[in-house]
Amino acid sequence: MSLSKEKKSILITGGAGFIGSNFVHHWCQNYSDDQVIVLDALTYAGNRQNLADLENRKQFKFIQGDICDRPLIEKILKEEQVTTVAHFAAESHVDRSILGPDAFVQTNVIGTFTLLESFRHYWNEQGNPENSRFLHVSTDEVYGSLEADDPAFSEVTPYAPNSPYSASKAGSDHLARAYFHTYNLPTIITNCSNNYGPYHFPEKLIPLMCINILLGKPLPVYGDGQNIRDWLYVGDHCSALETVINKGKAGETYNIGGNNEVKNIDLVTMLCELMDELASDLPVKPAKELITFVKDRPSHDRRYAIDATKIKTELGWTPKETVENGLRKTIEWYLNDQKWWQPLLSKDYQEYYQKVYG
C-alpha cells in the first residue's frame, strides 16, 4: 500500500542530530501539510540550531526529551495523533562506544524498546490503522566486516556486530523485527552505509578531516588506511527513507547504499585535494602533508559494502550523488557555515579527541 498521498503526523526521534535533521528538512520541504514533531534529548551530538530555520513553521514542533521516557512518548503519540514514527535517535560513534558502552545499550536498545512498546499500545488503541508506520533507521555495521572479495551486505546477510555500537544497533533491529512478527506492528528496518553531508558532528571522519585541514591540524588515519567504506550522501539517504515510508512493506528490511566504496586513505586524499581547490589561505598546503597514521582502533572492521538491489527493484530508489559530487557539496557547506561547527569544538570535544587520537 502506498502512503505517499496521505497526510501524516510524523514523529522524528533524534531529529536534531546529523541524519535526523537532514531528514526533517527533507520532509518539511516535500510535505508542507504534514505535522512534524521532533523529539531529541540534545546530547552532545544533537544541536537545535540544525532546525533553527523551521522553528516558526506552523506545523513544526520541537520537544526536548529522552526516548527512554515512556510517559513522555505516550503523551506525544496521543496528543499529536502520530501516524508515522521515523526513529533516528541513537548513540552512533564506534570510538565512543569503545570508551563507554553503557550509553549505547541504554539509548539504542532500551530506548528503541520503549518507543516500540509505546507505539504498540497506542496503535492498538487506535484500532491498528493500516496507514501507520514505524521506521527504524539502522546501520550496515550490524553485519560485521567483509573481506576484499566478499559479496556486499544484503538483507539476508547474517548479523555479526563487532563493536558495542553495532551490537546495540543489532539488538534494536531484532526488537523492531520481533514486534512485527509477534504483534504485527508495522515496523520497517533500514540499514544504511556511512553517511556524510551537512550538520555532521566533527568527531566523524569527513567533518573531522575538513575541520582539521582548515585549522592546520594533523589528519589522523587509523592503521594502514586501507579500510573500505561505502559512502552515502545524506540527501540520498533522506530520499530513500521517504521512499521506504511511502512505498515500503511492513515487516521488511531495506539496505540503503551509495554505490561508492572507497578506502579511507583515498577518501582523505580526495578531501585534501578538494580543500586545496576550494579553500583559500589554508595553514598547510598541500593539505595531504597533514595526513598522519595513528594506532588502529580495536576490532576495526575492514570493509563495508551495501547491496541495494532490493530497494532499487522493489521501490525504484537509487542514489544520485557520486562521492566526488557529494564531497564537493559537503566541503562547500563546511566552508560556508563555520559559525555552525566552531562552537562544537568545546573543551569536552577536545578531551574526547585526546583520548581517541592522543
196 given a catalytic annotation: no
Catalytic-residue membership of 165: yes
From the list 40, 91, 140, 236, the catalytic residue is 140
Which residue in the list 141, 203, 252, 301 is annotated as catalytic? 141
Q: Which of 122, 165, 222, 233 is catalytic?
A: 165
Residue 198 contacts by C-beta under 8 Å, 6 or more apart in sequence?
A: 22, 234, 330, 333, 337
Using alpha carbons, select from 1, 248, 46, 3 the residue that is nearest to residue 136: 248
Q: What angle do CA 322, 254, 151 make, to 5 degrees?
A: 65
Pairwise CA distance, residues 311 & 318, whole Å: 8
* Grid coordinates belonging to 71: 510517559
Residue 139, H or E segment: strand 133-139
CA separation for the pair 334, 337 (Å, rounded): 5
* DSSP H helical ranges for the chain: 18-30, 70-79, 94-99, 102-104, 112-125, 164-183, 205-215, 234-247, 264-278, 309-315, 323-336, 338-341, 347-357
Is 298 strand, coil or helix? coil
Helix (H/G/I), strand (E/B), else coil: 42? coil
Q: Find the Cα–Cα–Cα–Cα dihedral 300, 303, 308, 309, rounded to 10°.
A: -140
Active site residue 173: no
CA 104 – CA 96 distance, rounded (Å): 9
Q: What type of residue sits at position 224? A: D
Active site residues: 140-141, 165
